[in-house]
Chains A and B, each alone.
Chain A
């Protein structure tokens, strides 16, 4: 399978290119997730059990989104600037293999934090999580969707605009997205906006599979994510194969 061989070689290429920073990036991402789990509850003088559950199960989604929609677009933008993306495009390699290889390396950076964040949250607050096996497709879907949308951003926007937009995304995801709180806390109009965006669905599938006894898993959430994933992938694919 030439495509599979390309994928394997590209993962090796990307991992080796980042090898000096990979462990550090994974460590920082882990601290970031644990930091949310342990730090957010300090903001409140008293905090109920539901809020604790929301924070502990929402932190992994925040972590994945921050990589997919912030760190990744900035890195891809840099690669575009320095010409390495154009070089890779000149190789006889399927575009899909290139995207999946990048995704694999980013997953390796984010997954340790997702797992450790949940473990630390459960231990610190004595949570009974009963993690569902659906957590695997849920985490993969959240990572894939945020990566695809992030890639699409970096593919169509000029580098400086990518940096600015991703900064805005940070604020939006941290402060105004129903990941560590429920959507009904938001103003009605923002609640509506979030029904269209993928961020709320990312939170729903993450918490609905990590703590299925506490939170329902809305069946539409996976569909919303799938739609955004396909959209992000299509935009990226067109941007990568397009010859201007």
Chain B
């Protein structure tokens, strides 16, 4: 594994335990997602890898090098897009990407070649020579990504790279992230955008209160939820009693939305049940689709009420 993190713990002087015995490993060529709420400990983790923070205990190795003992090596081996927007006012994207590429040790010619490819891939050529002070937040974010990718280290860490980026260029950005991995870098992607992460990462870890509470491929994590489909009901706001799920799967409610786990072979019954709720005026509309990583995430991390599934016997198919 290119990046190996073992039993990493970070306790701030305030007593906050931001990372609590984390174990993670990422291989070259892999896009690894780190998901979690604000304050889950994601940024603390990447700041320790790049040598800005010192772990309280535990170890971080990149390609066999001890990053805790040799933070200088860490800075050479990692390129980093920080969560906060790097102020580059006064510089154009061409200058900012070019200078950072050279500061990372690449030759001027290599930097120019890679910069051109990144600019084309992200379709930001029209802003190439505009002062960053006049750029939108989204374009600045893409420029910051290009600054991290123009002379990438063995490990590229991207902290919320898609913030403020428009939907079309988000897709381009994900393509560029994938190419970084295809070229041999390990990519650590920090995000709380679960839906996007599902499409972009090979493996991911969900972080909660400084601990890894789940790790694996999106498919595997979804399989662990024990259901294949999710029925989402938008309930009439006047309804006070949440209808009981007849499918023996977990029920998650968020406001007037109800998410119900449904086995694939009960798809017809689920539609019928939802239609009956619509006719009864309990539900305003419903959608049935495959379980998403967001369902897994919400079920694991919470933030909304999660109720245990009702008994299957309570479902009366004839009523549908």
* A residues in contact (CB < 8 Å) with B: 2, 5-6, 9-10, 12-13, 16-20, 79, 82-84, 86-87, 89-93, 243-244
Contact = CB atoms under 8 A, between A and B. Distances in A.
A93 B90 contact: no
A87 B75 CA distance: 11
Interface of B: 13, 50-54, 71-72, 75-76, 78, 80, 82, 84-91, 95, 99-100, 102-105
Nearest to B83: A83
B103 A10 contact: yes
Given A16-B95, A92-B103, 14 more contacts: A5-B102, A12-B99, A17-B87, A17-B88, A17-B91, A18-B90, A83-B86, A84-B87, A89-B52, A90-B51, A90-B75, A90-B80, A90-B82, A91-B75
Nearest to B157: A90
Nearest to B53: A243
Given A82-B84, A82-B87, A244-B13, A90 B50 contact: yes
A243 B56 CA distance: 11
Nearest to A15: B90
A16 B72 CA distance: 26
Q: Is the interface of B mostly helix, strand, loop or mixed?
A: loop
B75 A16 contact: no
18 contacts: A2-B105, A13-B91, A13-B99, A16-B99, A17-B90, A83-B82, A86-B82, A87-B80, A87-B84, A87-B86, A90-B51, A90-B52, A90-B75, A91-B100, A92-B76, A92-B103, A243-B51, A243-B71
Contacts of B76: 92
Contacts of B54: 243-244
Nearest to B46: A90
A77 B99 CA distance: 23
A58 to B, nearest CB: 34
A75 B87 CA distance: 13
A92 B53 CA distance: 16
A20 B76 CA distance: 32
A20 B90 contact: yes
Contacts of B52: 86, 89-90, 243
B99 A9 contact: yes
A136 B102 CA distance: 32
Contact of A92 (B84, B89, B91, B104): B104
Of listed A5, A86, A90, residue having the most chain B CB within 10 A: A90
B173 to A, nearest CB: 19
Contacts of B99: 9, 12-13, 16
